[in-house]
Structure 1
Amino acid sequence: MSSLQVARRIVAAYGSERFLTNLKLNLLTYWCQIETLRETGEPLFADAIAVGECGPIETDVWDEYAPFGSRMIRQRDEWQESALDESAERIIAHVVDTLGALTAIDLLEMSCADDGAWRCAKDRGSATVDVDDILVSADMRRTVPSRTLAGCVDKVTREYPNALRLLENS
């Protein structure tokens, strides 16, 4: 399986309900890899994960969705990806359910933590984040952070229901 198949499946299954940008899609694909390694010890996809300037990047995914820039990815017919095996579908659903509401910035912070695989690979000057980097990193134990931009907006929305509406109309 390739990272592009995973990303296409995320877009096909969740693109209409989640705000997916190229960066967010790349990071969700990265976390699918981590979640599979947590559960099975084996990678979900064989593609190399590049050490990008700001975070981990699946190059094929990045290139495929580059025309969208930071705009929301819209599903195209040619990106219809048939269902993957049951295990991969379960992993993708779990990652999107737990991390999909986070912003790209929240995901980037998680992915670039000082004790994470990307930081380790970047610090040693590697061009890729290897499976071994992930297996020994804190990413294998990382959970959704309690303080995120998405969480703060949700809290404000709950506690001050009219605040965002007032800002919207000002």
Structure 2
Amino acid sequence: MTLTALDIANLFITRHQSLNFSNLSLNKLVYFAQVESLRETGKPLYDSEIQAWQYGPVEPDVYHAFQSYGHEHIANPSKKIVNDAYATNIVDIVAEKYGFLTAYDLVTYSHRENSAWKNTYDGDRNKTITNKDILNSDDVKSYPAREGTMLQDMDDIYNRYHNTFRLLGDA
């Protein structure tokens, strides 16, 4: 069975609701699922086109399927969920490795030096990011770190004001 980016998006929504997907964050995670498959096997997970848009990699079918949500939380999949063990495994790995990132963090990470997006984007939102572009980028060479993310900032605040939070929790 040939999978599409929309199949992968729907798997994320049903398996990892706690990540509170927006269209922006969902598109980035679907992109990183493709990266993970290419990293692991050298083969794509899905056959849908990935494009370099202003805010990073986008799968147009995923974007349009969930466009009506705007910046809001996507609560429901757009179609029936596929049953594919490999795709499910990849989605779970990506949720674990990238799920702590906010939409802003995902955009920042996808825009880093030598990312496939950075190497492809030239202001034309319809330029295709190919599997070769991904394989030749740093996207397949590393995972995001907590450094510089919103989660790290929140942890720093919590650690700095731990007693205050404890007192507020007891109130």
Q: TM class by shorter-chain length?
A: 0.7 to 0.9
SS of alignment partner, residue 51 of structure 2: strand
Alignment deviations for residues 23-65 of structure 1 (CA, whole Å, 9 cap, x no partner)? 0000000000000000000000111101112211000000011
119 and 165 in structure 1: CA distance in 2 versus 1, 3 angstrom threshold:
farther
Q: Give the match for residue 151 of structure 2.
A: 150
> Which sits farther off after the overlay, 123-132 or 46-55?
123-132
How many Å separate the matches in 1 of 2:163 and 2:101? 22
Q: Give the match for residue 139 of structure 1.
A: 139
| TM-score normalized with structure 2 length | 0.86
**Preserved CA contact (<8 Å) 2:9 2:62:** yes
How many Å separate the matches in 1 of 2:152 and 2:80? 31
Q: Give the match for residue 162 of structure 2.
A: 161
- Partner letter of residue 13 of structure 1? R
Runs of 4+ that moved beyond 3 A: 123-126, 161-166
Partner of residue 15 from structure 2, selected from 13, 16, 20: 13
164 and 45 in structure 1: CA distance in 2 versus 1, 3 angstrom threshold:
farther
Q: Unaligned stretches of 5+ in structure 1?
A: none
What is the RMSD of the two structures over their aligned residues, measured on CA atoms? 2.2
Alignment deviations for residues 69-106 of structure 1 (CA, whole Å, 9 cap, x no partner)? 11111125x544143x2211111101001211210111
Q: Give the match for residue 92 of structure 2.
A: 93
SS of alignment partner, residue 97 of structure 1: helix
SS of alignment partner, residue 19 of structure 2: coil
Q: Unaligned stretches of 5+ in structure 2?
A: none
> Which sits farther off after the overlay, 138-147 or 54-63?
138-147
**Preserved CA contact (<8 Å) 1:9 1:80:** no
**Preserved CA contact (<8 Å) 1:12 1:79:** no
119 and 156 in structure 1: CA distance in 2 versus 1, 3 angstrom threshold:
same
Report how far residue 161 of structure 1 moved: 3.4
Identity %: 31
